[in-house]
Chains A and B, each alone.
Chain A
Amino acid sequence: MSIKLKALLKSPWVFHLSTGSCNNCDIEILDCLTPRFDIERFGMLLVGSIKHADVLLITGSGNRKSMERAKRLYEQMPKPCLVVAVGECALSRGMFIHSYNCPVPIDKVIPVDVYIPGCPPKPEAIIAGIVKLIEKVKKGTAKK
């Protein structure tokens, strides 16, 4: 494992990106930060700028207007970086698969490392997903 990735695992800072979601997944992500779940104790922090982030949390079904921006944001992210897709929408577009405004699933545009299913996933599931991500990086199978 490269030294950069090793350092990243100690405190993965997270940027949250919503690409046409119903808000539920986004709220469950915010829930993870609040006292009951409090993932900040593990060094995870929601950051305001993509340029400070190590992990990109994507929610939503990737509509035409926001996917262009999402791609641009991904390109601005310092590498190595990890991408997590949260919620059914981000996995396969879920309910909105036949919509005229959601042409492709997100992982066709951005390489995704971990998928967290659920509509919305519970905060426990999101935390479990991040733990899986860390294991994956340790094993060296992440896409980086």
Chain B
Amino acid sequence: MEKTIIPIGPYHPLQEEPEFFMLTVEGEKVVDIEVRIGYNHRGIEKLSEMKSFDQSTFLIERICGICSTSHPFAYTRAVEDIIPVEVPERAKYIRTIIAEGERIHSHLLWLGLAGHFLGYNTVYMWVWKLREEILDVMEILTGNRNSYAMFKPGGIRRDIKSEDIPVVIKKMDSIVSTLEMLKKAVIDDPVIHARTKGIGILSKEDAINYCALGPTARASGVARDVRKDSPYGAYDKIEWDMIVTHNGDVFDKLVVRILEVFESIKIIKNCFLNLPGGEIDANIKDIPPGEGIGFIEAPRGECFHYVKSDGTNRPVRHKVRAPTFMNLPTCKATIIGEYISDATIILAAIDPCYCCTERMTVCNTKRKKIYTGKDLIKLSREKTEILRNKMGVK
């Protein structure tokens, strides 16, 4: 059969972010997919090298609006790894609370968009209405709806007021009851079953081979969660369960995310109950030369930061690896052989976040040559040599 190429994007009504997919189809079946990104690239790793360690936290927060806690969390952990310093207990608990609040709003955002992609706008509107409540909670706790600006190397910037805690817990309880209703409505809905069950299956072997992370991996039966495997913050001090399902289809990913929201609410409540008093900041003064890594479980999977310091007040190198970077290639395994009408929901099932993932490739099509690091150094040396000769400097 003849092959047709269907372009989706870069500015497509279904996507809020610009990205470009090229689906190759045979009749109605998808046979190949190619993804092109780069429409959101802002050069954050380079910008971070121009800012001080403290300023960088605000920049890192703006890698992605939805993961505006995960990235600073991983980054601050990387900086704390260089020194190394022990973060005060209270700061650890508050960090956990903020991170889980973000997980709730991120998962709800995905659930709403998934409903929208399926043509089920009732779910979209319901869920986003519920999400507003979470944003209210975050506004009470941090002062902002998104981009909380709570993190700093060594602790947190602002304390939580004790009079806010009962208000927040009450709000959380009201969210749980609405969420229960929503869970029943979504998980038992025959239309959602028909559209998502058995669609876009990622087998356990594929999940491991592609190094899938977060809910994408956990829906395929790979029990990986940084919060359990290598606990940070207050995750090892409170009770909670890891959600793992085994089918790997879109429905299972949906179930994992909904159930994780309940776990997150449980974690937040437990944190408030056990919230210790005391300092919130370790008052870091100097950052010695060295390297540090920080990794945390973002809503989409493991988020990894590497920071290198040379003893000045700026990072020499800052490397970010967001979870979508690992999850996106799993589309190759899940989408091929499926129908074109299911393509959008399968692509959306990994909860892709392109602004975290953006990379840049430079290609010079005219000269058909790719410069490597060595070539660039050679060019630079040659230029210096020419300038020296011109100026007559030896």
Q: Do A and B come from one complex?
A: yes
Interface set of A (CB-CB < 8 Å, partner B): 16-28, 30-31, 34-36, 47-50, 60-61, 63, 65-66, 69, 73, 94-96, 98-102, 119-120, 122
In the bound complex, residues from chain A placing their C-beta under 8 Å from that of B13 are: 47-49
Question: A31 and B42: CB pair below 8 A?
Answer: no
In the bound complex, residues from chain A placing their C-beta under 8 Å from that of B355 are: 21-23
B109 within 8 A of A: yes
Query: Measured between alpha carbons, how far is A30 from B127 in the docked complex, in Å?
Result: 13
Interfacial residues of chain B within 36-73, with CB under 8 A of chain A in the complex: 38-44, 46-47, 50, 58-59, 62-66, 68
What is the chain B residue whose CB lies nearest that of A102? B42
B313 within 8 A of A: no
In the bound complex, residues from chain B placing their C-beta under 8 Å from that of A19 are: 18, 39
B147 within 8 A of A: yes
Query: Measured between alpha carbons, how far is A47 from B44 in the docked complex, in Å?
Result: 31
B344 within 8 A of A: no
Which of B41, B58, B64, B128 contacts A65, CB < 8 Å? B41
Q: Which 4 A-B pairs have the closest CB atoms?
A: A24-B65, A48-B13, A34-B128, A23-B65
In the bound complex, residues from chain B placing their C-beta under 8 Å from that of A63 are: 39-42
Query: Measured between alpha carbons, how far is A56 from B224 in the docked complex, in Å?
Result: 43
B interface, how many residues as a size bin? Answer: 35 or more
Instruction: Known A27-B66, A73-B11, A120-B65; judge A100-B43 contact (CB<8 A).
Output: yes
Contact string against A for B residues 84-103, beta-carbon threshold 8 Å, 1 for contact and 0 otherwise: 00000000000000000000
Question: A34 and B64: CB pair below 8 A?
Answer: no
Contact string against A for B residues 344-375, beta-carbon threshold 8 Å, 1 for contact and 0 otherwise: 00000000010100001000000000000000
Q: What's the minimum C-beta distance from B322 to chain A, rounded to whole angstroms?
A: 12
B146 within 8 A of A: yes
The winner among B38, B43, B46, B109 for most chain A CB atoms within 10 A is B43
In the bound complex, residues from chain B placing their C-beta under 8 Å from that of A66 are: 10, 18, 39-40
Instruction: Known A31-B132, A66-B18; judge A98-B40 contact (CB<8 A).
Output: no
Instruction: Known A22-B65, A26-B17; judge A99-B42 contact (CB<8 A).
Output: yes
Q: What are 23 contact pairs spanning A and B, CB under 8 A?
A: A18-B39, A20-B42, A21-B17, A22-B63, A22-B64, A23-B66, A24-B65, A25-B65, A26-B16, A27-B109, A34-B112, A63-B39, A63-B41, A65-B39, A65-B41, A69-B11, A69-B18, A95-B47, A96-B43, A98-B47, A101-B41, A102-B43, A120-B146
Query: Measured between alpha carbons, how far is A96 from B47 in the docked complex, in Å?
Result: 8
Question: A27 and B42: CB pair below 8 A?
Answer: no
The winner among B11, B41, B46, B47 for most chain A CB atoms within 10 A is B11
Q: What's the minimum C-beta distance from B74 to chain A, rounded to whole angstroms?
A: 16
What is the chain A residue whose CB lies nearest that of B65? A24
The winner among A16, A35, A65, A119 for most chain B CB atoms within 10 A is A65
Query: Measured between alpha carbons, how far is A127 from B41 in the docked complex, in Å?
Result: 28
Query: Measured between alpha carbons, how far is A47 from B11 in the docked complex, in Å?
Result: 12
Q: What's the minimum C-beta distance from B328 to chain A, rounded to whole angstroms?
A: 16
Question: A95 and B18: CB pair below 8 A?
Answer: no
B145 within 8 A of A: yes
Query: Measured between alpha carbons, how far is A21 from B59 in the docked complex, in Å?
Result: 13
Question: B40 and A20: CB pair below 8 A?
Answer: yes
Q: What's the minimum C-beta distance from B335 to chain A, rounded to whole angstroms?
A: 22
Question: B43 and A27: CB pair below 8 A?
Answer: no
Query: Measured between alpha carbons, how far is A119 from B58 in the docked complex, in Å?
Result: 11
